Protein backbone atom coordinates (compact mmCIF):
# COMPACT_ATOMS: atom_id res chain seq x y z
CA UNK A 1 0.00 0.00 0.00
CA UNK A 2 1.29 3.41 -0.88
CA UNK A 3 2.38 5.70 1.99
CA UNK A 4 -0.18 8.31 1.01
CA UNK A 5 -3.03 5.83 1.23
CA UNK A 6 -1.79 4.61 4.62
CA UNK A 7 -1.84 8.16 6.00
CA UNK A 8 -5.38 8.73 4.66
CA UNK A 9 -6.56 5.46 6.19
CA UNK A 10 -5.03 6.45 9.56
CA UNK A 11 -6.83 9.78 9.49
CA UNK A 12 -10.16 8.13 8.62
CA UNK A 13 -9.92 5.50 11.38
CA UNK A 14 -8.13 7.21 14.28
CA UNK A 15 -9.20 10.87 14.21
CA UNK A 16 -12.94 10.22 14.81
CA UNK A 17 -11.99 8.21 17.91
CA UNK A 18 -9.84 11.06 19.26
CA UNK A 19 -12.59 13.60 18.64
CA UNK A 20 -15.20 11.42 20.37
CA UNK A 21 -12.91 10.85 23.36
CA UNK A 22 -12.20 14.58 23.74
CA UNK A 23 -15.84 15.57 23.46
CA UNK A 24 -16.86 13.04 26.11
CA UNK A 25 -14.23 14.36 28.48
CA UNK A 26 -15.40 17.96 28.14
CA UNK A 27 -19.04 16.98 28.46
CA UNK A 28 -18.54 15.05 31.72
CA UNK A 29 -16.43 17.87 33.14
CA UNK A 30 -19.16 20.44 32.50
CA UNK A 31 -21.93 18.24 33.86
CA UNK A 32 -20.38 17.69 37.29
CA UNK A 33 -21.01 21.22 38.60
CA UNK A 34 -24.46 21.20 37.04
CA UNK A 35 -25.42 17.93 38.73
CA UNK A 36 -24.17 19.20 42.09
CA UNK A 37 -26.12 22.44 41.66
CA UNK A 38 -29.31 20.51 40.89
CA UNK A 39 -28.76 18.29 43.94
CA UNK A 40 -28.39 21.30 46.21
CA UNK A 41 -31.42 23.07 44.78
CA UNK A 42 -33.65 20.02 45.20
CA UNK A 43 -32.46 19.19 48.70
CA UNK A 44 -30.07 16.45 47.62
CA UNK A 45 -27.34 18.06 49.69
CA UNK A 46 -27.75 17.07 53.36
CA UNK A 47 -27.08 20.62 54.62
CA UNK A 48 -29.85 21.96 52.40
CA UNK A 49 -32.26 19.39 53.81
CA UNK A 50 -31.32 20.29 57.37
CA UNK A 51 -32.02 23.95 56.70
CA UNK A 52 -35.59 23.09 55.79
CA UNK A 53 -36.28 21.38 59.11
CA UNK A 54 -34.56 24.12 61.15
CA UNK A 55 -36.04 27.52 62.02
CA UNK A 56 -34.09 29.87 59.73
CA UNK A 57 -36.01 32.93 60.94
CA UNK A 58 -34.64 32.32 64.44
CA UNK A 59 -31.15 31.10 63.52
CA UNK A 60 -29.97 34.66 62.89
CA UNK A 61 -30.10 35.36 66.64
CA UNK A 62 -28.58 32.13 67.89
CA UNK A 63 -25.15 33.71 68.44
CA UNK A 64 -26.72 36.55 70.42
CA UNK A 65 -28.78 34.18 72.56
CA UNK A 66 -25.71 32.07 73.23
CA UNK A 67 -23.80 35.17 74.31
CA UNK A 68 -26.54 35.87 76.88
CA UNK A 69 -26.28 32.31 78.15
CA UNK A 70 -22.48 32.49 78.30
CA UNK A 71 -22.67 35.70 80.34
CA UNK A 72 -25.19 34.07 82.69
CA UNK A 73 -22.89 31.08 83.19
CA UNK A 74 -20.10 33.35 84.44
CA UNK A 75 -22.13 35.94 86.34
CA UNK A 76 -24.99 36.01 88.79
CA UNK A 77 -28.22 37.80 87.99
CA UNK A 78 -30.34 39.60 90.57
CA UNK A 79 -33.36 37.88 92.13
CA UNK A 80 -36.79 39.45 91.58
CA UNK A 81 -35.35 41.40 88.68
CA UNK A 82 -37.00 43.76 86.23
CA UNK A 83 -36.35 42.06 82.90
CA UNK A 84 -36.37 44.16 79.75
CA UNK A 85 -36.92 41.97 76.70
CA UNK A 86 -37.80 42.58 73.06
CA UNK A 87 -36.48 44.18 69.90
CA UNK A 88 -33.96 46.95 69.22
CA UNK A 89 -35.87 49.56 71.24
CA UNK A 90 -34.98 47.40 74.26
CA UNK A 91 -31.47 46.51 73.07
CA UNK A 92 -30.51 50.16 72.58
CA UNK A 93 -31.96 51.25 75.92
CA UNK A 94 -29.18 51.71 78.49
CA UNK A 95 -31.47 50.26 81.13
CA UNK A 96 -28.81 49.75 83.79
CA UNK A 97 -27.96 53.46 83.66
CA UNK A 98 -31.54 54.70 83.39
CA UNK A 99 -33.09 52.46 86.05
CA UNK A 100 -30.46 52.41 88.78
CA UNK A 101 -33.10 51.95 91.50
CA UNK A 102 -34.18 48.57 90.10
CA UNK A 103 -32.31 45.27 89.66
CA UNK A 104 -32.34 45.26 85.86
CA UNK A 105 -31.60 42.63 83.22
CA UNK A 106 -31.62 43.56 79.52
CA UNK A 107 -32.24 40.86 76.93
CA UNK A 108 -33.07 42.85 73.82
CA UNK A 109 -32.14 41.51 70.39
CA UNK A 110 -32.69 43.79 67.41
CA UNK A 111 -35.05 43.03 64.57
CA UNK A 112 -37.07 40.42 66.41
CA UNK A 113 -40.81 39.82 66.30
CA UNK A 114 -42.97 38.80 69.24
CA UNK A 115 -42.90 35.24 67.94
CA UNK A 116 -39.09 35.29 68.20
CA UNK A 117 -39.25 36.33 71.85
CA UNK A 118 -41.67 33.44 72.40
CA UNK A 119 -39.28 31.05 70.66
CA UNK A 120 -36.36 32.00 72.93
CA UNK A 121 -38.35 32.63 76.12
CA UNK A 122 -37.22 29.44 77.84
CA UNK A 123 -33.63 30.57 77.43
CA UNK A 124 -33.75 34.34 78.02
CA UNK A 125 -36.91 34.97 80.05
CA UNK A 126 -38.01 32.12 82.30
CA UNK A 127 -34.59 31.25 83.82
CA UNK A 128 -34.40 34.65 85.57
CA UNK A 129 -37.79 34.30 87.28
CA UNK A 130 -38.27 38.07 87.00
CA UNK A 131 -40.70 39.90 89.22
CA UNK A 132 -41.53 42.30 86.39
CA UNK A 133 -41.05 42.02 82.64
CA UNK A 134 -40.89 45.14 80.46
CA UNK A 135 -41.78 43.95 76.96
CA UNK A 136 -41.33 45.78 73.66
CA UNK A 137 -41.95 44.09 70.32
CA UNK A 138 -44.54 44.29 67.56
CA UNK A 139 -42.98 47.18 65.68
CA UNK A 140 -41.15 44.86 63.30
CA UNK A 141 -44.15 42.56 63.14
CA UNK A 142 -46.38 45.23 61.61
CA UNK A 143 -43.56 46.39 59.32
CA UNK A 144 -43.23 42.74 58.28
CA UNK A 145 -46.91 42.72 57.22
CA UNK A 146 -48.30 40.85 60.19
CA UNK A 147 -51.80 41.91 61.13
CA UNK A 148 -52.76 43.56 64.42
CA UNK A 149 -54.64 40.37 65.26
CA UNK A 150 -51.47 38.33 64.77
CA UNK A 151 -49.52 40.75 66.98
CA UNK A 152 -52.16 40.41 69.69
CA UNK A 153 -52.28 36.62 69.41
CA UNK A 154 -48.50 36.34 69.69
CA UNK A 155 -48.39 38.63 72.71
CA UNK A 156 -51.13 36.62 74.40
CA UNK A 157 -49.03 33.50 73.78
CA UNK A 158 -46.11 35.21 75.49
CA UNK A 159 -48.23 36.10 78.51
CA UNK A 160 -49.58 32.58 78.82
CA UNK A 161 -46.12 31.09 78.36
CA UNK A 162 -44.76 33.20 81.22
CA UNK A 163 -47.69 32.78 83.58
CA UNK A 164 -47.77 29.02 83.09
CA UNK A 165 -44.48 28.83 85.01
CA UNK A 166 -44.29 32.21 86.76
CA UNK A 167 -47.85 32.94 87.79
CA UNK A 168 -47.04 36.03 89.87
CA UNK A 169 -44.81 37.80 87.35
CA UNK A 170 -46.09 41.20 86.23
CA UNK A 171 -45.73 42.13 82.56
CA UNK A 172 -45.62 45.68 81.22
CA UNK A 173 -46.32 45.98 77.51
CA UNK A 174 -44.58 49.02 76.06
CA UNK A 175 -46.96 50.09 73.33
CA UNK A 176 -45.72 49.94 69.77
CA UNK A 177 -44.24 53.37 69.16
CA UNK A 178 -45.04 55.84 66.37
CA UNK A 179 -42.12 56.85 64.16
CA UNK A 180 -41.75 58.90 60.99
CA UNK A 181 -40.02 56.00 59.30
CA UNK A 182 -43.13 53.84 59.74
CA UNK A 183 -45.76 56.55 60.02
CA UNK A 184 -47.97 54.97 57.34
CA UNK A 185 -48.25 51.90 59.60
CA UNK A 186 -49.27 53.83 62.70
CA UNK A 187 -53.03 53.09 62.33
CA UNK A 188 -52.29 49.35 62.36
CA UNK A 189 -49.93 49.76 65.30
CA UNK A 190 -52.57 51.67 67.24
CA UNK A 191 -55.06 48.90 66.52
CA UNK A 192 -52.68 46.28 67.91
CA UNK A 193 -51.98 48.46 70.96
CA UNK A 194 -55.70 48.82 71.67
CA UNK A 195 -56.31 45.07 71.44
CA UNK A 196 -53.46 44.42 73.89
CA UNK A 197 -54.70 47.14 76.24
CA UNK A 198 -58.20 45.66 76.37
CA UNK A 199 -56.67 42.25 77.08
CA UNK A 200 -54.37 43.64 79.77
CA UNK A 201 -57.16 45.55 81.53
CA UNK A 202 -58.70 42.19 82.47
CA UNK A 203 -55.66 40.93 84.40
CA UNK A 204 -54.11 42.61 87.46
CA UNK A 205 -50.71 41.23 86.48
CA UNK A 206 -50.67 43.03 83.13
CA UNK A 207 -49.80 46.68 82.59
CA UNK A 208 -49.64 49.03 79.62
CA UNK A 209 -47.16 51.83 79.01
CA UNK A 210 -48.36 54.31 76.38
CA UNK A 211 -45.10 54.84 74.51
CA UNK A 212 -46.63 57.33 72.08
CA UNK A 213 -47.52 59.99 74.67
CA UNK A 214 -43.98 61.35 75.17
CA UNK A 215 -43.04 61.01 71.50
CA UNK A 216 -45.80 62.87 69.65
CA UNK A 217 -45.47 66.59 69.08
CA UNK A 218 -48.16 69.27 69.05
CA UNK A 219 -48.80 68.50 65.37
CA UNK A 220 -49.74 64.92 66.26
CA UNK A 221 -46.68 63.44 64.58
CA UNK A 222 -43.46 62.02 66.08
CA UNK A 223 -41.05 64.63 67.37
CA UNK A 224 -37.92 64.35 65.21
CA UNK A 225 -35.72 65.60 68.05
CA UNK A 226 -36.39 62.38 69.98
CA UNK A 227 -35.20 60.03 67.21
CA UNK A 228 -31.96 59.02 65.57
CA UNK A 229 -31.33 59.99 61.94
CA UNK A 230 -33.10 56.85 60.77
CA UNK A 231 -36.38 58.31 62.18
CA UNK A 232 -37.08 54.89 63.65
CA UNK A 233 -34.99 54.39 66.78
CA UNK A 234 -34.94 56.69 69.79
CA UNK A 235 -31.99 58.87 70.70
CA UNK A 236 -30.95 59.70 74.26
CA UNK A 237 -33.63 62.39 74.55
CA UNK A 238 -36.26 59.91 73.44
CA UNK A 239 -35.13 57.40 76.04
CA UNK A 240 -35.09 60.15 78.66
CA UNK A 241 -38.75 60.82 77.90
CA UNK A 242 -39.67 57.13 77.96
CA UNK A 243 -37.80 56.51 81.19
CA UNK A 244 -39.49 59.33 83.08
CA UNK A 245 -42.95 58.02 82.22
CA UNK A 246 -42.16 54.32 82.60
CA UNK A 247 -40.65 54.44 86.08
CA UNK A 248 -44.00 55.01 87.87
CA UNK A 249 -45.48 52.08 85.95
CA UNK A 250 -42.65 49.79 87.08
CA UNK A 251 -43.05 50.95 90.68
CA UNK A 252 -46.75 50.19 90.52
CA UNK A 253 -46.06 46.75 89.05
CA UNK A 254 -43.60 45.97 91.85
CA UNK A 255 -46.14 46.68 94.58
CA UNK A 256 -47.77 43.64 96.21
CA UNK A 257 -51.32 43.13 94.99
CA UNK A 258 -53.86 42.41 97.71
CA UNK A 259 -56.72 41.66 95.36
CA UNK A 260 -57.20 38.25 93.78
CA UNK A 261 -55.41 37.94 90.49
CA UNK A 262 -57.43 37.42 87.35
CA UNK A 263 -56.06 34.55 85.27
CA UNK A 264 -54.99 35.47 81.74
CA UNK A 265 -57.41 34.06 79.19
CA UNK A 266 -56.23 31.36 76.89
d(CA 262, CA 266): 12
**pTM of the predicted model, to two decimals?**
0.77
Could you please report the per-residue DSSP string of 247-260? HHHHHHHHSPP-SP
pLDDT at 214: 96
Q: What is the DSSP letter of 216?
A: B
Q: For the domain 57-254, what is the CATH code?
A: 3.40.50.1110
Return the SS3 of 82.
strand
Which run of H or E residues covers position 170?
strand 170-174
**Residue-level pLDDT at 55:** 55
At 3 the pLDDT is: 53
Bridge partner list, 105: 83
Q: How many alpha carbons fall within 13 Å on the CB side of residue 131? A: 17
pLDDT by residue for the chain (266 residues), tens only, comes to 555 554 455 555 544 444 444 333 333 333 333 323 322 222 333 333 333 333 556 789 999 999 999 999 999 999 999 999 999 999 999 999 999 999 999 999 999 999 999 999 999 999 999 999 999 999 999 999 999 999 999 999 999 999 999 999 999 999 999 999 999 999 999 999 999 999 999 999 999 999 999 999 999 999 999 999 999 999 999 999 999 999 999 999 999 863 334 433 33
Q: Is 161 exposed, middle or buried (0-12, 13-18, 19+ CB in 10 A)?
A: middle
Amino acid sequence: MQPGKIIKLFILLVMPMLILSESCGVSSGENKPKIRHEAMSTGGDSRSKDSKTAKPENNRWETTIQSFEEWDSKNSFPPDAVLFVGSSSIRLWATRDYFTEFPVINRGFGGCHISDVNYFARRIVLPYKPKVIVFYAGDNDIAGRKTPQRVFDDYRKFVNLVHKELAATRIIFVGIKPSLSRWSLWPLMKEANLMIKEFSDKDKRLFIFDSSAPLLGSNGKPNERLFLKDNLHLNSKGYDAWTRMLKPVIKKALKPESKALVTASE
